[in-house]
Structures are given as C-alpha cells and as structure tokens.
Structure 1
C-alpha cells in the first residue's frame, strides 16, 4: 500500500466512527497516556491539538496543564514550512487558525525543541516498528528531527490505524511508540 491509499482509507475509517465509539476509544487513550511512565516523568510535553476525527488530545492537554507540566502545542508557520512549539497556560488560549485547527494566538512563549521531554504525534497510520504515515506536509518530520535524542516520540491513534508495515521515506522520523485503545 502506498501512502496516498493509506491516508485515504484511514481517514475514512476515523471519520466513520460514531460519537459513542469515539468517546469510548478516546477515554481509553487518555487513561493510557496519563498513567504512562513517560508522561509521569516528563516535565515538558509537546502535544498536537486534535482536529475532527483524530484521537482526542483536548482532555490530555487539560490534564497536563492541571498536572503542572510545561505544555506546548504546534504553531505552523505556513510560509516557512516549519512548525514551532508554543507554550500555553490554559486551553482557552487556543483559537481557530487558518485551517480551523486550534492553535495558540500568542506566540511569545516559544519553547526550544531541545527542552521537550515527550512529544505526542498525530498520524493517519503507524506500524509496530515505529513507522508513521502523516498528512503529507512534512511539518512533524522536520520538527521531530530537532528534539533531543532522549525525547520520546509517541504516536496517538486508534488501534485500527496500526498496521503491520507502513512505507517510510528517507525524511520520515520513526516513533518510539504508539498509544492506542
């Protein structure tokens, strides 16, 4: 399977989850994240702000803020093709951006990639070897290469998004693990 086909199929599967199924799966992922050793050891957390049918991260963000962690979320710089980590103090600081994805409006609290302990990464598919199929823009791959070697890169996905093998290109960055339902 090529990346285009995987993206299409996985997006359809995610979009076809009914509300109660999604809520149940999101709750399982939430519990696994906040009970994980990596999360509990981390002082700083980079996490995507879920959009539409992605595995929900809103509750994880709120919990991490409550737990006193430095929480940073992506701010995509579309003109440069890069993504920055921006710290937030409250979930309500996030507002809809160019693609209707919640993002920080105030970018004054930029966080250096080298200070991030754990990075929760979106994707359309993952494999058991850490492979990831993202959305095709390369923003995360460019960003992840700037993290410290010991920073954990964890995908968040539903179990049906985990395949035996996904195609990986030379610029693709592997995950250290995936948390699913």
Structure 2
C-alpha cells in the first residue's frame, strides 16, 4: 500500500474517532479492560499515555492507577516529547503534570531531570499505545510523526504492547512499513483483540 493509502486510512479513522459519542464512558471501558489483563497485573512498570483531543481518554484513570500502583508496587510512567524522541517519566501524582508540547499534559520540566524520575524503555513491562487506527493483526497507524515508532523499536522483546482504541478505529488492514512495530493486543470498549503477529 502507498503513503496515500495510509493517509486515507488516517483521515477516515480520525474522522470516525472525532465523531465518536460517549468518549468518556467508552474510554473507561477500554482502560478497565486493559487494567484487568493478567499481563497488566504482572507488570512492574507500565507506560500510560496522557490523552489529547479525541484519543481514548486516560486522565480520569491515571490517578486511580497511581493509587493502586502504591499498593501493588507498580510503577506508572508517562511519555513526554524531547525533540524528536519520547522520554519517559516516573509519574507519582497529578501535580507532576503541566501543559507541554502539542497541548498535551506532560511532566513538569523542573522534575524531568531528577534521576529517580527517569525511566528507560527497557524497564517497561507493558505499554498502553495510542493510535489513529489499528487492525486485528496488531498493525497501528499513528499521526505520522514517528514518536511511538522510535520508542517501541527500543523496548525489550518481551514488553507487552496494548493499543487503546474505540471500535470505530479498527480497520481491515494497516499497511506496515519495515520500521513499524505491531501490537500484541488492541483493547476497545467491546473486546480485547489478541493479535497474531508472532
């Protein structure tokens, strides 16, 4: 498939996501589905994204996840932009965040440099991955800037990758390039798709 095919899928899926009603309720079903996965329960370090615009919403549950992580000994990390890369931050409370690049809540600049707050990609056991579109084989289409592609290429082979999507974002096929990394699972409000990408 050509770049034009990707652009068409991206545009169509983004429009469907924008038009999706009940985003808050459906997002909660997605995040609950992810949190109930045995792979999530077993993970010691989880990367969640902080949603922006029409993405599956995560902010409502992040504080709950942080409270639960205290009891379970689980670390919760969130990404932030540093040039063309995503850096990872050990999130411990909502006051760690402020508005950053692209209008996204990100770790406060003055806390990013603290050694005990830095997380490396190879420490992650599970990553919740945003996207514009996904397919049942784990194909993912982002916004085209490549931030997550670069991050995911550097994680450990056993790290579990879970796409978070509304059902309207699931398409028959995502054209995958050589550098694209497939998801192990895709969670929607209706189902957890186990992707046969191995």
| TM-score (normalised: structure 2) | 0.85
In the alignment of these two chains, the number of paired residues is: 177
State which drifts further: 55-64 or 139-148: 55-64
State which drifts further: 53-62 or 94-103: 53-62
Q: CA deviation at 1:150?
A: 0.7
Is 1:154 the counterpart of 2:157 in the alignment?
no
> d(CA) in 1 for partners of 2:35 and 2:61?
7
State which drifts further: 56-65 or 132-141: 56-65
SS of 2:101's equivalent in the other structure is coil
CA contact (8 A) 2:98 2:106 kept: yes
Q: CA deviation at 1:63?
A: 2.5
Aligned partner of 2:75 in structure 1 is 70
Is 1:51 the counterpart of 2:56 in the alignment?
no
> d(CA) in 2 for partners of 1:98 and 1:82?
12
Aligned partner of 2:138 in structure 1 is 130
Aligned partner of 2:20 in structure 1 is 17
> d(CA) in 2 for partners of 1:62 and 1:38?
20
Alignment deviations for residues 75-107 of structure 1 (CA, whole Å, 9 cap, x no partner): 1112xx111111110023111102110110121
> d(CA) in 1 for partners of 2:63 and 2:6?
32
Query: C-alpha root-mean-square deviation of aligned residues, in Å?
Result: 1.3
CA contact (8 A) 1:30 1:59 kept: no
> d(CA) in 1 for partners of 2:8 and 2:14?
10
Is 1:5 the counterpart of 2:8 in the alignment?
yes
CA contact (8 A) 1:45 1:72 kept: yes
Instruction: Name the one with the larger helix percent.
Output: 2
> Which of residues 154, 158, 168 in structure 1 aligns to 2:176?
168
CA contact (8 A) 1:26 1:56 kept: yes
Structure 2: any 5+ residue segments left out of the alignment? 190-198
1:87-98 superposed matches below 5 A: 87-98=90-101
CA contact (8 A) 1:125 1:161 kept: yes
CA contact (8 A) 2:135 2:173 kept: yes
Structure 1: any 5+ residue segments left out of the alignment? none
